[in-house]
Amino acid sequence: MATYREVLGVTEFRALFAGHSTTVVAKNMQQLALASLVFATTGSPLLAAVAFLAGLLPHAVVALSLLSLADRLPPRGALIAFDLGRAAALGLLAGGVLPLWAIFAVVLLAGAGDALAAAIRLALVADVLRDGYVAGRALLNIVVGVMQVLGYAVGGVLLSLVGAGGALCTAAGFSLLAAAVTRSGLRRHRPRGAGRGALRSTWAGNRAILGDTRARGLLWAHWIPNGLIVGAEALYIPYAGASASVLFVSAGVGMLVGDAVIGRLGAATRGRLILPALVLLAVPYLAFAWRPPVPVAAVLVAVASVGFGSTLGVQERLLRVLPAARHGQGLGLAMSGMMTMQAVAVALAGATAEMFGPTTAMAMAAAGSLAVTGALLPHVAPRWRAARTAAAALTAVR
């Protein structure tokens, strides 16, 4: 059982941690500044919202086409290249000379790089920390929440002082800083896999991973229960109006607590808590059917969000099932699938709210999450065995 102090004592993890933190700030500043730029140019709230979320759209495409590169590219060089590429893209956007279609094209390309970089980074954390992976992953989760607040706050101040162009230039500077941190603190690692033909290799790897019953069940557990709850979170504004920020803050606090506490537990305890955490994630949202007042709703949201820590145990089990040569692709598939499912769940929750109202839609999302958790019981139950036959492991590698 690794402590947070122990994993932060690993030089390479500190570099990954610092580089990731800096990248998160850059991405959040980019989202805010770009949405403001597009809205000022077009006056369209829809296009501004698309610009805000456009970087997430390529994750599903990368998962289906290029994700095998996460195990076949030199990790250090790839992370540096992605950060330099983001800095160049942000500098280009800051110039304010691109037409709207070109702006979206640049953002989509940067988002594709983000999807691969996330998979490479998570696999490196597993390589560098080994048994300390979950503690390291929990720290990365925690820093995302903290740096999101910092990124949006600094981005908002910069927008008011120097405009969208200046905010994008500052974000480019953070990306350059992330590249420098990675170069100075991370040593060269050999790629885990080899081969040619990214598309064919990605399909073959995805078939091998999804063809394994244990891995497939764990991926569903990583994608769907929490994705449905994110759909409920998307309804905070129609539910609470001007007080919605209270619910968003409560959700963030609960998530940070869940990651901090569950990430610090031993592997056996963490495994036993997957099912209770998934149940905790959904049950408080059932109460929204009775439309609790905002202070009560904030407490319910905070308690429920602790359950997001279940993903740490699910990822730990996934690493035990997958061969080492598939760690990057498997973790990337888990993250890309989760983001895709969250987008789908948000759309479903919004459509349901249009028909039945936000309170009913939030309770229905919670009921759906509980139903999926029940269907996945063999994969999230406290008693779970990771052992596979040598033949099955060999098949997965092939």
pLDDT greater than 50 at residue 390: no
Is the Cβ–Cβ distance between 137 and 130 less than 8 Å? no
pLDDT single digits (tens) 313-341: 999 999 899 988 888 888 888 988 888 88
Per-residue confidence band for 392, with pLDDT thresholds at 50, 70 and 90: very low
Joined tokens for residue 251: 């959700």
Cα–Cα separations (whole angstroms), residue 19 to 54, 267, 374: 22, 27, 38
User: For residue 196, what pLDDT is reported?
Assistant: 60
> Do residues 90 and 175 lie in contact, with contact meaning Cβ atoms separated by under 8 Å?
yes
Average pLDDT, the chain: 84
Answer whether residue 298 shows pLDDT above 90: yes
pTM: 0.75
- Average pLDDT of the segment spanning 136-158: 76
Asked if residues 304 and 229 have their Cβ atoms less than 8 Å apart, the reply is yes
Q: How many angstroms separate the CA atoms of 19 and 183, rounded?
A: 10
- Please report the pLDDT score of residue 362 as a whole number: 94
User: Going by C-beta distance under 8 Å and a sequence separation of 6 or more, which residues neighbour residue 343?
Assistant: 53, 56, 57
Say if residue 396's pLDDT is above 60.
Answer: no
CA–CA distance, 55 with 270 (Å, rounded to integer): 32
Q: Is the pLDDT of residue 146 over 80?
A: no
Lowest-confidence segment of 234-248, 290-304, 376-390 by average pLDDT: 376-390
Q: At 253, list the tokens.
A: 């606090």
- DSSP letters spanning 190-239: --S---S-HHHHHHHHHHHHHHSHHHHHHHHHHHHHHHHHHHHHTTHHHH
Between the alpha carbon of residue 143 and those of residues 51, 86, 138, 157, the distances in Å are 24, 20, 9, 21
Window from 53-57, 358-362, 388-392 with minimum mean pLDDT: 388-392
pLDDT at 389 over 60: no
Is the pLDDT at 268 greater than 50, yes or no? yes
Q: Which of 67-71, 263-267, 290-294, 352-356 has the highest mean pLDDT?
A: 290-294
Closest C-alpha among 152, 171, 159, 141 to residue 245: 152
DSSP string, 260-309: HHHHHS-HHHHHHTHHHHHHHHHHHHHGGGG---HHHHHHHHHHHHGGGG
Please tell me the distance from the alpha carbon of residue 348 to that of residue 364, in angstroms, as a whole number. Answer: 11
In tens, the pLDDT along 161-219 reads: 888 888 899 999 999 999 999 999 999 888 776 666 667 788 888 898 999 999 999 99
Give the best-scoring range by mean pLDDT among 67-76, 255-264, 294-303: 294-303
Name the token pair of 103: 């702006």
Q: Report, as an integer, the average pLDDT of 10-21.
A: 91
Length of the chain: 398
Q: What are 24's two structure tokens?
A: 């998160």
